[in-house]
Amino acid sequence: MTQKVKVAITVNGTLYERDVEPRLLLSDFIRHDLGLKGTHVGCEHGLCGACTVLIDGHSARSCTLFAVMVDGSEIKTVESLGTIDNMHPLQEAFHEKHALQCGFCTPGFLMTAVEYLEGNPNPTAEQAREAIDGNFCRCTGYENIVEAVQLAAKKMAAH
């Protein structure tokens, strides 16, 4: 019989108690079990960063973790940032700077940048570039993403 493990995981402020198979990836738990499709899955082996979420405040790939490993943790996905009518300053900045084209990579960049800006409120372009070095974007060429991260920093400081 397939083993199931009881987990209690808080995602975007809601506590979910589920029985899951140990091999269920956190990315699949978020997307399939909880239906939160904002977290994207590109490579599924830790390389592209599309699946980045925050675990107890720290960015991590959700595809290189089993859901059972984050039992008791608090997860934040891109859905926690803002809504179309009430965007997070980072989302506004991505919008204004055209920092996305197809948008597949965007949730990962946002969740990476949100952690980064908390500890680094005023990055130079070089620092912003370094902050996103674990995320792939196949469309934009990164320039506008770097500008958006810097603009977001300014917006967040003004808030």
Partner 1 sequence: MKPAPFDYYAPTSLSEALDKLTELGYSGKVLAGGQSLIPAMNFRMARPTALVDLGKVKELSYIKPTADGGMAIGTMTRDSVVEEDLLVSERFPILVKTIKHIAHKQIRNRGTFGGAIAHADPAAQLPAAALLLDANLKVLSKAGERWVKAVDFFIGPFMTVLEPEELLAEVVLPPLAPRTGASYQQVSRQKGGYAQAAVISTVTLDGADRVKEARVALFSVGEYPLLASKPNQVLAGQVPTAEAIEEIAAYVAKNECDPGTDIHGTEEYRRNLVHVLVRRALTEAVQQAKK
Ligand X SMILES: Cc1cc2nc3c(=O)[nH]c(=O)nc-3n(C[C@H](O)[C@H](O)[C@H](O)COP(=O)(O)OP(=O)(O)OC[C@H]3O[C@@H](n4cnc5c(N)ncnc54)[C@H](O)[C@@H]3O)c2cc1C
Minimum distance, C-beta of residue 87 to partner 1, in the bound complex (Å): 23
Instruction: Give the residue from 4, 149, 10 showing the smallest Cα distance to 75.
Output: 10
Identify the helix (H) or strand (E) that includes residue 148. Answer: helix 143-158
Show contacts with ligand FES in window 3-62 (CB under 6 A).
41-44, 46-51, 61
Name the minimum Å distance from CB 64 to ligand X: 5
Query: DSSP alpha helices (H): ranges in the chain?
Result: 26-28, 89-96, 106-119, 125-131, 143-158
Indicate the DSSP class of residue 30.
I
Element (H, E) at 91: helix 89-96
Considering the complex, state which of residue 61 and residue 76 has its C-beta at the smaller distance from partner 1: 61
Q: Does 9 bind partner 1 (CB under 8 A)?
A: no
Which does residue 80 touch among partner 1, ligand FES, ligand X, none (CB within 5 to 8 A, set by kind)? none
8, interface contact from partner 1, ligand FES, ligand X, none, CB < 5-8 Å by kind: none
Contact residues toward ligand X (CB under 6 A) are 46-47, 64
